[in-house]
Structure 1
Amino acid sequence: MIGTYGAVLSHPGAKAFTLAGLVGRLPISMAGLGIVLLVQASSGSYALAGSVSGAFMVANAGLAIVQGRLLDRVGQGRVVAVTAVLFAVSASLLVVAVQAGWALGWVYVLAALAGGSQPQVGSAVRARWSHVLDRPGDVQTAFALEAVLDEVVFMTGPVLVTLLATSVHPTAGLTAAVVAGAVGGLAFAAQRRTEPPAHPRESGLPDTHGGPGPRPRLPWATVLPLAVVCAALGVLFGAAEVVTVAFSDEQGRESAAGFLLALYALGSLLAGLVVGTITWRSGPDVRVRWGAAAMAVAMVPLAFAPNLVVLGVLLLLGGASISPTMVAAMSLTEASVPRERLTEGMAVMQTGLVAGVAPGAALAGLVVDHVGASQGYLVSVAAGVVAAVAAQAIPRRRGATEPSAPLASS
């Protein structure tokens, strides 16, 4: 396993942009929560804190695809550098606005600016891997590595921001997210030798038919159902997080929720590590379909967990279906989307994932309030079913296999 990941990381510049990308996307799991903790500490209102964080998240999801398009057209270095600075400035002003008691209008505007300008480092890193690596199996391994690093981000970010905001100062959590986004983003942007070439709208570059012309279209027949799969996965995440907290509270151990969610992320992390070492005989479209179905099935037992111990085991096992599905979805995006629009395609998937979290959390909260915590997991089950149905709409790819590292087979 170590040798498999070491092989892709041995490419010139790979370790540097991977590390910068890891730091640069820490705000994904830190900024929203940091805003909640900051605004709540200043105003005493969770409702206000949630609405300000919501403005950040909506702007982030709404402009991610636009930013992805710019990354392809203008180039990663320029776009990530500019957005990293804009994110740092607007988020810093948001901290000042909250602390100084500026008018709420300014708080919402600055939150939206910060969300909209947060660098889309995750999409850029995956597009860069696709540019640096030649073998499809190596790209598959690199995407598995990124899925694992995503889990690391979501395991460590919330813990770090909560610790800083509650133990140091209410501003410390969001400030740490700002520093990570700016430093990581600028470090990533500075690495030009591994940067994919830009593809301006009228670049004169050959299109998919070999002649000069406009940029090729996105294959929406594949992209749209894949985006639905990712959005359903976001709903599944958001619902599972809320319900796990509620279930822990019902059992009189609310503090156990963090540990249980860490087990969920750990299951996904371990599965992601394994996925990167497998020689797949099936194409990514097949694996997306099986992975989405597995997610739906894995969520069902959660609704019947009698206690926290059993729930922890089920969350660990259920998490194992997450990374394989995400890796397959990103691999299929990489294989289907024209190179000139790859970062934009990746951003569509990331946007779907992010956009699903808040509705999933809200719907699960309604179910918990009316019928109890355990039944709230049925929202995750329903999201898994939606993902499985959407995955069936993905066009079949004939003869698509992905040779990879010779450590295992499936």
Structure 2
Amino acid sequence: MVISVWALALGAGMWSLQAEWSRVLTFACAAVAGAAMPSVGTCVRARWSHVLADRPERLHTAFSFEAVADEAVFLIGPIAVTVLATTVHPAAGLLAALVSGLLGTWVFALLRSTAPPPHPHVEVRTARAPIPWGAIAPLTLVTASLGVLFGAAEVTTVAFAEEEGSKGAAGFLLAIWALGSLLAGLISGAVTWRSSAATRLRWGALAMALAMAPLFVVPSLPVMALVLLVGGFAISPTLIAAMSLAEQVLPTSRMTEGMAFLQTGIAAGLAPGAAVAGVVIDHGGASPAYLVCFAGGAIALLGATLVRVPTTVRSHEDLAAGTEPGVVA
């Protein structure tokens, strides 16, 4: 139902642009489409946790696969949309995204065999399994900061390519960035890690911040492509570690809810990151705007250092008994 509302609102927004309706109506359609967009990524990761509950060692590979799939879409999607919009019709690219999103989500919703069983309603007088906020809150800060980084990088890279006299190169640069992340996801999924997810998260966040540091001094498009390719290698491992860590600490009954905080964090960071970068671009040009990306990476690193992992996840019976788990850094 929700995905249908999203499709109708997005379609109405596209039509309003073509028909030159009031801008207020176009913004209203965009707002409804954004609010109705289902969190498919959260549900997919929750399903992986359910399907592989008896094989937890495979979860890292599953989350790596998800990261690679995300980057593949990010790599191919912009190119396909651009080709459709420039060779077929200005709205063709967005229409293709609408149709693929609608059909894909419908098919996903019909895959009942992989869906976790619904948890029974918990009475108010009965304690619920808690969300371990000592881990989930900092993880949400990490993903929100990465959202800021991603939003700022997309806007700034377009501006950088335009300043270099080749606006069309922006799609190539962003695709190179996604390619680095895709390759890192493949490598990460193939490795049996001995280090904990929390340790990998901190190293990944550090690498992400360091990768963003030199962008504001890059002098040319070829050098920018190389730096973004290298920087992309930090994206997937960081996100994979964040999702793996969340899966480890969340009670089964709160899995989808907890994962949604991380997914929402990314979405919540995209718009502010793009907006702040846009202001910096207007006043100082593209290169200084890359410092917004660095700031996002630095805050993500701070969030990663603040994560506290429960040594045990409190059960329903533990809560009734009033016991508390310990935490580790």
Contact in 1 for aligned 2:212/2:293 (Cα 8 Å): yes
Distance in 2 of aligned mates of 1:294 and 1:213? 44
Gap regions ≥5 residues in structure 2: 313-329
Q: What does 1:64-79 correspond to in 2, within 5 Å?
A: none
With structure 2 as the length reference, what TM-score do the two structures score? 0.88
Contact in 2 for aligned 1:201/1:214 (Cα 8 Å): no
Aligned counterpart, 1:153: 73
Deviation of 1:337 (Å): 1.4
Q: 1:119 and 2:38 equivalent? A: yes
Contact in 2 for aligned 1:272/1:324 (Cα 8 Å): yes
Given candidates 285, 296, 308, the residue that maps to 1:395 is 308
Alpha-carbon displacement from aligned partner over 1:58-112 (angstroms, at most 9, x marks no partner) = xxxxxxxxxxxxxxxxxxxxxxxx2222222332333334434444444333322
Alignment CA distance shift 1:314-1:144 (3 Å) = same
Given candidates 163, 169, 173, the residue that maps to 1:260 is 173
Q: 1:129 and 2:68 equivalent? A: no
Distance in 1 of aligned mates of 2:107 and 2:231? 35
Deviation of 1:397 (Å): 5.6
Deviation of 1:288 (Å): 1.1
Amino acid in structure 2 at the alignment position of 1:86: V
Distance in 2 of aligned mates of 1:100 and 1:306? 42
Alignment CA distance shift 1:93-1:372 (3 Å) = closer
- Report the identity percentage: 53
Q: 1:192 and 2:112 equivalent? A: yes
Distance in 1 of aligned mates of 2:14 and 2:216? 40
Contact in 2 for aligned 1:201/1:215 (Cα 8 Å): no
Q: 1:243 and 2:156 equivalent? A: yes
Aligned counterpart, 1:406: none
Contact in 1 for aligned 2:249/2:309 (Cα 8 Å): no
Distance in 2 of aligned mates of 1:116 and 1:370? 32
Greater alpha carbon shift after TM alignment, 87-96 vs 280-289: 87-96
With structure 1 as the length reference, what TM-score do the two structures score? 0.71
Contact in 2 for aligned 1:299/1:380 (Cα 8 Å): yes
Alignment CA distance shift 1:377-1:91 (3 Å) = closer
Amino acid in structure 2 at the alignment position of 1:119: P
Distance in 2 of aligned mates of 1:139 and 1:199? 22
Distance in 2 of aligned mates of 1:247 and 1:99? 30
Aligned counterpart, 2:254: 341
Aligned partner of residue 168 in structure 2, secondary structure: helix
Distance in 1 of aligned mates of 2:273 and 2:184? 24
Distance in 2 of aligned mates of 1:138 and 1:329? 16
Deviation of 1:259 (Å): 0.9
Aligned counterpart, 1:14: none
Alignment CA distance shift 1:250-1:95 (3 Å) = closer
Distance in 1 of aligned mates of 2:22 and 2:292? 37
Aligned counterpart, 2:183: 270
Aligned counterpart, 1:83: 2
Aligned partner of residue 196 in structure 1, secondary structure: coil
Contact in 2 for aligned 1:285/1:397 (Cα 8 Å): no
Deviation of 1:152 (Å): 1.2
Aligned partner of residue 281 in structure 1, secondary structure: coil
Alignment CA distance shift 1:254-1:107 (3 Å) = closer
Aligned counterpart, 1:142: 62
Deviation of 1:170 (Å): 2.8
Aligned counterpart, 1:358: 271
Deviation of 1:218 (Å): 1.5
Gap regions ≥5 residues in structure 1: 1-81, 205-211, 400-410
Contact in 2 for aligned 1:246/1:254 (Cα 8 Å): yes
Aligned counterpart, 2:317: none
Number of residues of Structure 1 aligned to a counterpart in Structure 2:
311
Distance in 2 of aligned mates of 1:223 and 1:264? 27
Q: What does 1:162-173 correspond to in 2, within 5 Å?
A: 162-173=82-93
Amino acid in structure 2 at the alignment position of 1:170: P
Contact in 2 for aligned 1:126/1:143 (Cα 8 Å): yes
Given candidates 93, 98, 122, the residue that maps to 1:202 is 122
Given candidates 26, 38, 44, the residue that maps to 1:107 is 26
Distance in 2 of aligned mates of 1:106 and 1:313? 42
Contact in 2 for aligned 1:83/1:117 (Cα 8 Å): yes
